[in-house]
Structure 1
Amino acid sequence: MTIPNLITLIRILLTPVLIWLLLDARLGEALAVFFVAGVTDGLDGFIARVFHQKSRLGAYLDPLADKLLLVSSFILLGHLDLLPDWLVIITVSRDALIVIGVLTLMFHQVPVAIHPSLLSKLTTLVQILTVMAILAAPYFSPLLWVTQGLISATAAFSVASGLHYIVYGLRLWDAARNGDKEQA
């Protein structure tokens, strides 16, 4: 177990705490927990790269931790009417599509390397910033256009990266099928 993997596990363990705080509408405390979780997201990747502690487990755990944290946040912020339903549907559908796609490819024994694209990393960053802005709104009164801009950016990046992963998955599928035909 590497240090980055332990940090990722902390993010996973913070998710139920965040859910509990959001269900109780304790936005200030939820903001603090989400901030710490967001910092761990950057910290685990930084340590893994700088200290050469990348691992196969980390390649699976890190995106799983992101999905748990962000999907939970978006669903609950939508439930609290702090995010528009359409944005919740876009972000959750994108993540569900990615998970279903990876599982489908694995089920059909198509090799899948878990390496988030730059577009996916930017999507995660914009989603994190959006959640933080929504949670911080009662305390820092961000300008409406900043929050609206983040919501629009989250939608655009989520759709773009979702389409990117669909294309990537179809390419993997085609390569595996064409490889099977060549071997037959």
Structure 2
Amino acid sequence: MAPPVSSRIVTIPNILSLFRLLLIPVFLVLLLLGHLGWALLLIAVSAVTDFVDGYVARHFNQISRLGQLLDPAADRLFILATLLGLGWVGVLPWWLVAVIVARDVLLLVLGVVLANHRFGPLPVHHLGKMGTFAILFAMPVLLAAAAFPDLAAVALPLGWAAAIWGVFLYWWAGVAYILQAGRMIHELRVAPASASDTVDR
């Protein structure tokens, strides 16, 4: 049985999601000023609060409609800010940033197309989850390599391996979403024709 969804606004998960949103400009300022160690710490804080708000929401019945919007928005904005910030300071190459952002833009367009056909959002694919996890792992590891050069010999190959694998899975999931959406739209268009043939007979 699915847990109840409340209309409450002030909950611990919502406060933590708002806190993550407020961390974004602080993170970018630290990054652009060259305080890479502190910026890395904020990534860690964001990851911990993300885990905590999900745990509290599920185990203490604090799932709310606002939280269902606020939590993923905070996650996506923090990821986008991290990608752009790391690209700006040279930790990530711009081509890698573009490849990751392009996939998200593609899914945004796909969501609009599905909404126009009266479909809701597609369920999250396990490939997408694994790809997102790999990318989220790669970004702080690569930032750690830049912030602490003594770690670079280990952190750089580890971060790049995770980033490349994550991008591969990210786009593999994107292709799976496109194919699934194509089948759904095709079935929607075929259904009226099938119904019409049945009536004619």
Partner of 2:58: 49
Partner of 2:78: 69
* d(CA) in 1 for partners of 2:192, 2:17: 37
Q: Give the conservation status (yes or no) of the 8 Å contact 1:59–1:114.
A: no
SS of residue matched to 2:84: helix
Change (3 A) 1:162 1:58: farther
Instruction: Spell out the pairing of 1:24-173 with structure 2 (5 A cutoff).
Output: 24-106=33-115, 108=116, 110-113=118-121, 115-137=123-145, 138-139=147-148, 141-142=151-152, 143=154, 144-173=156-185
User: What stretches of structure 1 of length at least 5 have no aligned partner?
Assistant: none
Residue-by-residue CA offset, 1:28-73 (whole Å, 9 max, x unaligned): 1111111111112222222222233334433333322222111111
Structure with greater contact order relative to length (CA < 8 Å, sep ≥ 6): 1
Partner of 2:16: 7
Q: Give the conservation status (yes or no) of the 8 Å contact 2:128–2:173.
A: yes
* d(CA) in 2 for partners of 1:81, 1:182: 56
* d(CA) in 1 for partners of 2:65, 2:90: 38
Residue 146 of structure 1 and its aligned partner are, at CA, apart by 0.9
Q: Give the conservation status (yes or no) of the 8 Å contact 1:71–1:91.
A: no
Change (3 A) 1:73 1:181: farther
SS of residue matched to 2:118: coil
One-letter identity of the residue aligned with 1:161: A
TM-score by length of structure 1 reads: 0.83
Residue-by-residue CA offset, 1:56-114 (whole Å, 9 max, x unaligned): 433333322222111111122122221122211111111112222223322x1523146
Q: Give the conservation status (yes or no) of the 8 Å contact 2:131–2:169.
A: yes
User: What stretches of structure 2 of length at least 5 have no aligned partner?
Assistant: 1-8, 197-201
* d(CA) in 2 for partners of 1:19, 1:64: 17
* d(CA) in 1 for partners of 2:195, 2:20: 44
* d(CA) in 2 for partners of 1:164, 1:35: 31
* d(CA) in 1 for partners of 2:121, 2:167: 26
Share of identical aligned residues, percent? 33
